[in-house]
Chains A and B, each alone.
Chain A
Amino acid sequence: MLTSRVKAFIGVSIVISIIIALHYLGVLNGVEQSVRAVMSVPSGFVYKKTHQFASEGEQQHAQDTARAAFDSAKFILLSEENESLRRQLNFISKTPYSSIGGDIIGQDVEPVGNTIIINRGTHDGIENGQPVIAYDGIFVGKIVRTEESTAVIRLLHDGQSKVAATILNNDHSIGIVEGGYGISVRMNFIPQNEHVSPGDVIITSGLEKGIPRGLVIGRVEAVEKEAYQPFQKAILSTAADFEHLVTVSVITGI
């Protein structure tokens, strides 16, 4: 005979299983959308109120910093690349890529995740894998989950973030920029024989499907180079200020 506790455990597990099954079958879509719609208003308000800059000066400083990194990348590219590359760099105003602006309405509740939620979803043409930018082209992350009216963005410094990147040095070194669970952002797989210096600007390389070339990622802070390793690593400071993001743009139509 089953004890009452075993029966209770089985009963609760069955109810949870039914709800999970209904979710994946899409039966609960209406309920979930309604809950999100209701909750997004107050949570978006709280997020905005607590993440916006304390003062106009602080906001201006962050924008100037991001702008400086962007302008630096822009200058180097414009001076070194051809007209085609120049068109790509000024993607915000001159390229065929369109973008959709969205307000951040919350952030993830996972213990080690660095993700945010925006009030744009599949209804607005958002798809998984699309790049997300702040200001005039500062890369902040990628779309990892979409719902009808919301989307989740995995930020660059999340532990599972990866993006193909190029350093704007003489070698135009390529590698993979990876997040470090909120602790650091680093660029791996840089060929050992290429010269990388602190201060070098890093942009998206365009070698990854769906991510255009020229989105500014950040600058090299330090280089880790071991003689016996085939690749070197660079520790980055990101151009985006993830603590004060309030609105972002999703690049679509790539």
Chain B
Amino acid sequence: MTWLKRTAIVGLSVVGVVFVHLATNAVLPAPWNQVNMVFVFLIFFLLFEESGTVVWIAFSVHFFIELYAVSPFGILLFSGTISTLLSFWLYQYFFTNQSWYTAAALSLLAIVIYRSIYTALFLFFHVFGYFALPPWSALLLVYGWEMLLTSGVTGLAYLLTTRPFHKKRKLLPVEWRV
């Protein structure tokens, strides 16, 4: 029953975060619409749950978001899932504590990995003539805003959600469950 309840909560969270991400993209003015709410959620899930389940959540979320993208199916799904997997490993083996700057740094690294893989795939499709390559200046500007704002929002949200409770979260050993 607990498992069922947990699955239902995760399922609803996936749908919710997809909707929030699409709404953020459509509603907020530039550059605030560049906040990647998916990664804010994934980093939060990773920090609080410390479970490899985050990779499969990333997979589900990016599958849904893929349905709203013009790029060939698979680019967002692959880059989003693999970058979450790599971020999970970074958290598992590199980060040693939990704080607002850990959240911000992890979020920044996750977006850097995500956009690096995305751009590599973009270039791959460009070579085969599927895509016209946007000017690098425009691309880097958008990426820059996304990295800055997403890591800022993640760090701030972590600070706001953990501060009121005035207690340090105990860092549990992370198990490999992917």
> Is there a chain B Cβ closer than 8 Å to A130's Cβ?
no
Verify B138–A112 contact, CB threshold 8 A. Answer: yes
B159: chain A residues at CB < 8 Å are: none
Verify B64–A181 contact, CB threshold 8 A. Answer: no
B70: chain A residues at CB < 8 Å are: 108, 110, 113, 115, 144-145, 152, 154
> Is there a chain B Cβ closer than 8 Å to A117's Cβ?
yes
* Known A20-B73, A39-B19, A46-B26: A4·B176 in contact at CB below 8 Å: yes
* Known A8-B85, A12-B81, A46-B27: A111·B74 in contact at CB below 8 Å: no
> Is there a chain B Cβ closer than 8 Å to A106's Cβ?
yes
A110: chain B residues at CB < 8 Å are: 69-71
A152: chain B residues at CB < 8 Å are: 70
Shortest CB-to-CB span from A114 to chain B, Å, is 10
Verify B21–A181 contact, CB threshold 8 A. Answer: no
Give residues of chain A (121-177) contacting chain B, Cβ–Cβ below 8 Å: 144-145, 152, 154, 159-160
Give residues of chain A (76-90) contacting chain B, Cβ–Cβ below 8 Å: none
Bound: A196/B174 CA distance, A:
67
Verify A46–B67 contact, CB threshold 8 A. Answer: no
Interface centre among A39, A51, A144 (most CB of B within 10 A): A39
> Is there a chain A Cβ closer than 8 Å to B160's Cβ?
no
> Is there a chain B Cβ closer than 8 Å to A65's Cβ?
no
Shortest CB-to-CB span from B172 to chain A, Å, is 19
Shortest CB-to-CB span from B135 to chain A, Å, is 7
- Kindly identify which residue among B59, B68, B71, B77 contacts A106, using a CB–CB cutoff of 8 Å: B68
Tell me whether chain B's interface is mostly helix, strand or loop, or mixed.
Answer: helix
* Known A8-B178, A106-B22: A16·B69 in contact at CB below 8 Å: no
Verify B65–A12 contact, CB threshold 8 A. Answer: no
Shortest CB-to-CB span from B19 to chain A, Å, is 6
Verify B59–A15 contact, CB threshold 8 A. Answer: yes
Closest to A42 in B: B19
B59: chain A residues at CB < 8 Å are: 12, 15-16
B17: chain A residues at CB < 8 Å are: none
Give residues of chain A (14-28) contacting chain B, Cβ–Cβ below 8 Å: 15-16, 19-20, 23-24
Verify A159–B146 contact, CB threshold 8 A. Answer: no
Verify A13–B82 contact, CB threshold 8 A. Answer: yes
Verify A112–B142 contact, CB threshold 8 A. Answer: yes
> Is there a chain A Cβ closer than 8 Å to B139's Cβ?
yes
> Is there a chain A Cβ closer than 8 Å to B23's Cβ?
yes
> Is there a chain B Cβ closer than 8 Å to A242's Cβ?
no
> Is there a chain A Cβ closer than 8 Å to B99's Cβ?
no
- Flag A87-102 by CB within 8 Å of B: 1 or 0 each: 0000000000000000
Shortest CB-to-CB span from A106 to chain B, Å, is 6
Verify B25–A35 contact, CB threshold 8 A. Answer: no
Shortest CB-to-CB span from A137 to chain B, Å, is 25
> Is there a chain A Cβ closer than 8 Å to B150's Cβ?
no
- Kindly identify which residue among A20, A24, A39, A117 contacts B77, using a CB–CB cutoff of 8 Å: A20
> Is there a chain B Cβ closer than 8 Å to A71's Cβ?
no
- Kindly identify which residue among B82, B132, B178 contacts A159, using a CB–CB cutoff of 8 Å: B132
Bound: A151/B68 CA distance, A:
10
Bound: A13/B81 CA distance, A:
9
- Kindly identify which residue among A12, A16, A112 contacts B134, using a CB–CB cutoff of 8 Å: A112
B positions within 8 Å CB-CB of A: 18-19, 21-23, 25-27, 34, 52, 55, 59, 63-65, 67-71, 73-74, 76-78, 81-82, 85, 89, 115, 131-132, 134-135, 138-139, 142-143, 146, 176, 178
17 A-B pairs (CB sep. < 8 Å): A12-B82, A12-B85, A13-B82, A23-B74, A35-B64, A46-B26, A51-B26, A108-B68, A109-B76, A111-B34, A112-B138, A113-B70, A145-B70, A152-B70, A160-B131, A181-B138, A183-B138
Further pairs besides A39-B19, A111-B115, A111-B139: 6, Cβ < 8 Å:
A8-B85, A16-B74, A43-B22, A43-B23, A51-B26, A111-B146
